[in-house]
Amino acid sequence: MKQFHGLDILRLATDNRCDTRQLAALLLKDLQQCQCRIYGCIGDDDKILLATLSLLPDTLLYDAFDRRIDFVVVGPIIRNDCVPLTYRLQGQDFAISGRCSMIARVCGVDLYLQASYTGIVGDIARQKFSMAVKPLLKQ
């Protein structure tokens, strides 16, 4: 269910001819102000914002050996009246969306929220992302 959005927009900057290193550079620039929003639902309202996690700037790094971008987002939990079900990590143009869960080993989940996501309003949640760049070239 994980979906990538905006890769076509990033590739336009390179005339659709980019390698892993170039795509990583574009993603690093695009994700400098990224946020991850965690959503739940109650009844028919399927977009209840539970938390907005913002990038810790010093954590946005590219590992050239593994061809992977790693970063951490943090922020307060603002609601707890429903369970987290979906997320959207949004950069300037690039985004990732999918299903999430606080419970480990739930089928069909793209993102398991780390233990810092307690579900308690006011607690600071912290989530690490690792994104392999090479598979994104094939998207």
Question: Over the stretch 75-97, which tens digit does the pLDDT of each residue have?
Answer: 999 999 999 999 999 999 999 99
Q: Is the pLDDT of residue 103 over 90?
A: no
The predicted pLDDT at position 37 comes to 98
Calculate the alpha carbon distances from 34 to 52, 71, 72, 90 in Å. 10, 10, 10, 5
Total number of domains constituting the chain: 1
Q: Is the pLDDT of residue 56 over 90?
A: yes
Sign of the alpha-carbon torsion through 80, 92, 100, 114:
negative
Task: Return the ∠ at Cα 69 (arms to 103 and 130), rounded to 5°.
Answer: 10
**Cβ neighbours, 10 Å, residue 32:** 13
Rounded distance between C-alpha atoms, residue 100 and residue 83, angstroms: 10
Cα 8 to chain center, whole Å?
18
Percent helix, percent strand, percent coil in the chain, to nearest 5: 20, 40, 40
The predicted pLDDT at position 93 comes to 95
Which pLDDT band holds residue 16 (cuts at 50, 70, 90)? low
Task: Identify the domain containing residue 69 by its residue range.
Answer: 3-137
pTM higher than 0.75, yes or no?
yes
